[in-house]
């Protein structure tokens, strides 16, 4: 048991808190240290059993860590990884949970002593809710975690990162950071942009006639503004491409509607229905 | 009990079947007659307790009906209402469950003897699944049902329609058929168009990285092709307007991304988040 020794979680929100809970409930760490800026919030997390110790001093928090997981907002991850690498043991694994990877990995690799400890990671888990109060020990169970090693990633750290994330319940996929960002622009950031577009487009007075399709289609628009502003900025190039592809799709529908072209509308819907069926066929039974 | 006497359900799919189940489970009808084109499917529905009697002859099926509910595809509703009005008792209420209303009401009102019995209705309930096998007795509980009376609708029939739909569990709203179609273009048809756009835009090979936001955002893209082709065609004008409004919203995001305009991206997200919170605040606790 306690196979990971001391684990420092930097940023104890929904993701960091769920990592803490997962480690503690599975007995995978001897100590989970929570590092954050708000000591009161950290103490609340400690009371709820999310972490064992709390500190606002990053250097001190990671000083004895065998594993450091940086779960701060994407705009801060690279800086926190580099700072952690200055104080963590030289044997430590540093990984992160950022929703984007290209710029984070590029920034970290500008500091070779940080790159030697680091494996970029993105667990595809989350919620429209934020904060450690919503943490769940099983948030990562059966979820994909993408690791984004590069030529500079030591094989030993990659093995350690695979072991760490899979011990939380994740299924591991590996790809380059640039490819990762292109893919999640379509699979995650585009759905968020659409949910927000839908939520903002329906006039408020008409919401009493909104039912299941609106509810599900706009759900993630309830997510945190700062979090998503940062993610969109980090991945703005690939997201613009994905939005463009979706705009083309909408334009095709509008043209078919304009011409009342029954066959074109039918084909347009049927393409979508076929793709959705492929997605459903890939899901685990309970998802 | 059996306050509605004989009820004829024309078109025994998910909606018609759920009406039958709701009436029978609540003891609201002495007999539920199912009218359809496929006698074998109707007999299966009868075996499952969805209807009491089955017939493929519309004239015969409605001959003794106190209430006729037309649940056929939107492109057929007006014709079926007019045919039912020729054979139903002159004291009957005829209502429907079509997702669009303007053209249906216009067509029905071309036949004054049909208009005298008819109240257009749209229960906001459904599923991405089709067919009477998915019927549920509580499908309408706490759902809005929009009634679309006009100057030609007799007050007695409007009262009867209110009583009928509210007895199934619906909350009643009333508006004109043109306004109804403009509203549902935004609240229902647009979310369906977006779900289908999303499902068709994400490359198949990337679906393993699609998680909750994609799953919820594309759910209704699994719905029946013929059903949605017909609804989109019926409501193509208002739907084009709604798609246009959404395209504007996406264009605003793309412009903000292009300029890496943090404030604009933040405002764009925050507007959506505020609207989504208003929607959530309006929902019944369990919805």
CB A109 within 8 A of CB A150: yes
- Is the CB of B279 less than 8 angstroms away from the CB of A210? yes
Tens digits of per-residue pLDDT, B140-180? 999 999 999 999 999 999 999 999 999 999 999 999 999 99
A6-175 CATH fold? Rossmann fold (3.40.50)
Question: In the block, which residue shows the tokens 């369906």?
Answer: B192
H or E element that contains A191:
helix A190-201
The greatest distance separating any two alpha carbons of chain B, rounded to the nearest whole angstrom, comes to 68
Domains B6-175 and B180-282 share a fold: no
A257 contact residues in B (CB cutoff 8 A): 232-233, 236, 239-240, 243
A187:B210 CB<8 A? yes
Range in A278-287, B15-24, B32-41, B141-150 with the lowest mean pLDDT: A278-287
Contacts of B178 in chain A (CB under 8 A): none
Task: Give strand pairing partners of B93.
Answer: B67
Alpha carbons B234 and A266: distance in angstroms, whole number: 13
Cα-atom radius of gyration of chain A, to the nearest Å?
21
Residue A287 has a pLDDT of 44
Share of chain B above pLDDT 70, in %: 98
B179, B169 Cβ separation under 8 angstroms? no
* Burial profile A157-190: b = 16 or more Cβ within 10 angstroms, e = fewer: beebbbebbebbbbbebebbbeebbbbbbbbbbb
What is the distance, to the nearest Å, from the Cα of residue A131 to the centroid of all Cα atoms in its chain?
14
At residue B131 the predicted structure's pLDDT band, cuts being 50, 70 and 90, is confident
Phi and psi at residue B16, to the nearest 5°: -60, -40
Q: H or E element: which one contains B7?
A: strand B6-10
Bridge partner residues of A34 (DSSP): A9, A54
- pLDDT at B230 exceeding the cut of 50: yes
**pLDDT at residue B273 is higher than 70:** yes
Which residues are CB-neighbours of A100 under 8 A, at least 6 positions away? A74, A122, A180, A181, A184, A231, A234, A235
Give, in order, the Cα–Cα distances in Å from A143 to each of A138, A170, A189, A283, B201: 10, 5, 17, 10, 22
Separation between Cα atoms, residue B81 and residue B91, nearest integer Å: 15
User: Over 70: is that where the pLDDT of B2 sits?
Assistant: no
Closest in A193, A215, A276 to B218, CB measured: A276
pLDDT at A178: 98
d(CA A140, CA B96): 46
Q: Residue B130's pLDDT band (boundaries 50, 70, 90)? A: confident
DSSP secondary structure code for residue B206 in this structure: G
Distances A254 to A5, B196, B265 between C-alpha atoms, Å:
58, 13, 26
pLDDT at B97 over 80: yes
CATH fold of B180-282, please?
6-phosphogluconate dehydrogenase C-terminal fold (1.10.3660)
Q: What pLDDT is attached to residue B151?
A: 97
Q: Phi/psi zone of residue B178: left (φ > 0), alpha (ψ -120 to 50 degrees), beta?
A: alpha
CB contact under 8 A, B232 and A265: yes
**Closest Cβ opposite residue B243 in set A190, A195, A250:** A250
pLDDT of B204 higher than 70:
yes
Q: Mean pLDDT, to the nearest integer, of B89-94?
A: 98
Cβ neighbours of residue B112 closer than 8 Å, sequence gap 6 or more: B152
Q: How many CB pairs under 8 A join A and B?
A: 292
Query: What per-residue confidence (pLDDT) applies to B153?
Result: 98
Q: What is the mean pLDDT of residues B267-273?
A: 98
Per-residue pLDDT averaged across B33-59, rounded?
96
- Asked whether the beta carbons of A5 and A29 are under 8 A apart, the reply is yes
Residue A241's Cα: distance from chain center in Å? 20
Angstrom distance (rounded) from CA B131 to CA B38:
12
What is the nearest CA distance from B180 to chain A, expressed in angstroms? 9
Question: For residue A215, what pLDDT is reported?
Answer: 95
- List of chain B residues whose C-beta atoms are within 8 Å of the C-beta of residue A242: 201
Task: Using the predicted structure, report yes or no on whether residue B119 has a pLDDT greater than 90.
Answer: yes
pLDDT in tens, chain A (287 residues): 469 999 999 999 999 999 999 999 999 999 999 999 999 999 999 999 999 999 999 999 999 999 999 999 999 999 999 999 999 999 999 999 999 999 999 999 999 999 999 999 999 987 767 788 889 999 999 999 999 999 999 999 999 999 999 999 999 999 999 999 999 999 999 999 999 999 999 999 999 999 999 999 999 999 999 999 999 999 999 999 999 999 999 999 999 999 999 999 999 999 999 999 999 998 876 54
Distance CA B8, CA B113 (A): 19
Helix/strand number for chain B, H first, E second: 13, 9
Distance between alpha carbon A14 and the CA centroid of its chain, in Å? 10
Q: Is A278 exposed, middle or buried (0-12, 13-18, 19+ CB in 10 A)?
A: exposed
Q: How far is A59 from chain B (nearest CA, A)?
A: 30
Confidence label for B249 from pLDDT (cuts 50, 70 and 90)? very high
Chain A positions in Cβ-Cβ contact with residue B276 (cut-off 8 Å): 195, 199, 218-219, 221-222
CA distance A228 to A255: 32
Tell me which H or E stretch contains A150.
none
H/E segment holding residue B156: helix B155-167
Look at residue B132 in the predicted model and tell me its pLDDT: 85
Q: Which residues of A touch B190 (CB under 8 A)?
A: 198, 201-202
| Helix/strand/coil percent split, chain A, to 5 | 55, 10, 30
Write out the two tokens for B117. Answer: 């019995």
List chain A domain ranges. 6-175, 180-282
How far apart (Å, rounded) are the C-alpha atoms in residues B208 and A279? Answer: 8
pLDDT at site A229: 97
Residue A6's DSSP bridge partners are A31
Q: Is the pLDDT of residue B137 over 80?
A: yes
Give the pair of three-digit tokens for residue A6: 């001391």
The distance from CA A240 to its chain's CA centroid, rounded to whole angstroms, is: 19
């Amino acid at each position: 048991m306690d196979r990971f020794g001391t684990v420092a979680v930097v940023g104890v929100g929904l993701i960091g808190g769920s990592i803490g809970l997962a480690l503690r409930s599975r007995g995978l760490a001897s100590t989970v240290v929570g590092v954050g800026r708000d000591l009161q919030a950290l103490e609340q997390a400690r009371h709820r059993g999310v972490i064992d110790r709390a500190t606002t001093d990053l250097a001190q928090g990671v000083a004895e860590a065998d594993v450091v997981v940086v779960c701060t907002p994407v705009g801060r991850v690279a800086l926190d990884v580099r700072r952690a690498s200055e104080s963590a043991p030289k044997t430590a694994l540093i990984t992160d949970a950022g929703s984007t990877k290209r710029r984070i990995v590029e920034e970290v690799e500008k500091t070779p002593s940080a790159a030697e400890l680091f494996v970029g990671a993105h667990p595809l888990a989350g919620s429209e809710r934020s904060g450690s109060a919503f943490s769940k020990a099983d948030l990562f169970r059966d979820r994909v975690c993408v690791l984004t090693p590069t030529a500079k990633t030591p094989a030993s750290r990659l093995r350690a990162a695979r072991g760490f994330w899979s011990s939380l319940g994740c299924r591991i996929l590996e790809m380059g950071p640039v490819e990762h960002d292109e893919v999640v622009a379509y699979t995650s950031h585009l759905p968020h942009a659409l949910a927000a577009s839908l939520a903002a487009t329906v006039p408020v007075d008409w919401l009493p006639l909104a039912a299941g399709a609106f509810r599900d289609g706009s759900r993630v628009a309830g997510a945190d503004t700062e979090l998503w502003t940062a993610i969109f900025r980090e991945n703005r190039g690939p997201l613009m491409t994905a939005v463009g592809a979706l705009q083309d799709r909408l334009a095709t529908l509008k043209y078919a509607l304009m011409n009342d072209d029954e066959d074109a509308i039918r084909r347009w819907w049927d393409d979508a229905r076929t793709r959705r069926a492929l997605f459903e066929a890939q899901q685990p039974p309970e998802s």
